[in-house]
Structure 1
Amino acid sequence: MGPTRTLRLGLLGCLLLVPRLHGQDPAACAWGWVLFEDGCYGFFPRELSWRRAEAFCQRFGMESHLASVHSEEELQAIAALLASSRSGEDSQEDGDEGVWIGLHRPLGSRRWLWSDSSEVDYSSWHRQPGPRRRACAALRDTADFMTWYSDACADRKPFVCKSGI
Structure 2
Amino acid sequence: MQTKWLTIFIISGLITIVNTKRACIFNSTACEKGWVQFERSCYQFLNKAVILKEAVNYCNRVGAHLLEIKSSQEEKWVDLQLKIRGFQYVWIGLTDILKENDFVFISTGGKPTFSNWGKNEPNNAGKTEHCVEKLAGSRWNDRSCDVKFPFVCERNSE
Same fold (TM over 0.5): yes
Q: Which residue of 1 aligns with 2:36?
A: 34
Q: Is the aligned partner of 1:101 residue 2:103?
A: no
| Higher share in strand | 2
- Over aligned residues, Cα RMSD in angstroms? 2.1
- Matched-pair identity in %: 28
Distance 1:155 1:130 in 2: 16
Higher mean C-alpha displacement, 126-135 vs 148-157: 126-135
Distance 1:99 1:57 in 2: 13
Greater Cα radius of gyration, structure 1 or 2: 2
Contact in 1 for aligned 2:97/2:130 (Cα 8 Å): yes
User: Which residue of the other structure, out of 49, 52, 59, is the alignment partner of 2:54?
Assistant: 52
Distance 2:118 2:100 in 1: 21
Q: Structure 1 126/40 Cα, relative in aligned 2: closer, same or farther at 3 Å? A: same
Q: Which residue of 1 aligns with 2:24?
A: none
Provide TM-score, normalisation by structure 1: 0.69
Aligned pairs (5 A) from 1:4-153: 28-61=30-63, 64-86=64-86, 98-117=89-108, 118-127=110-119, 128-130=121-123, 132=127, 134-141=129-136, 144=137, 146-153=138-145
Gaps of 5+ in 1: 1-24, 92-96
Question: Higher relative contact order by CA 8 Å / sep ≥ 6: 1 or 2?
Answer: 1
Deviation at 1:77, TM superposition (A): 1.3
| Higher share in helix | 1
Q: What SS is found at the alignment partner of 1:135?
A: strand
Contact in 1 for aligned 2:92/2:133 (Cα 8 Å): yes
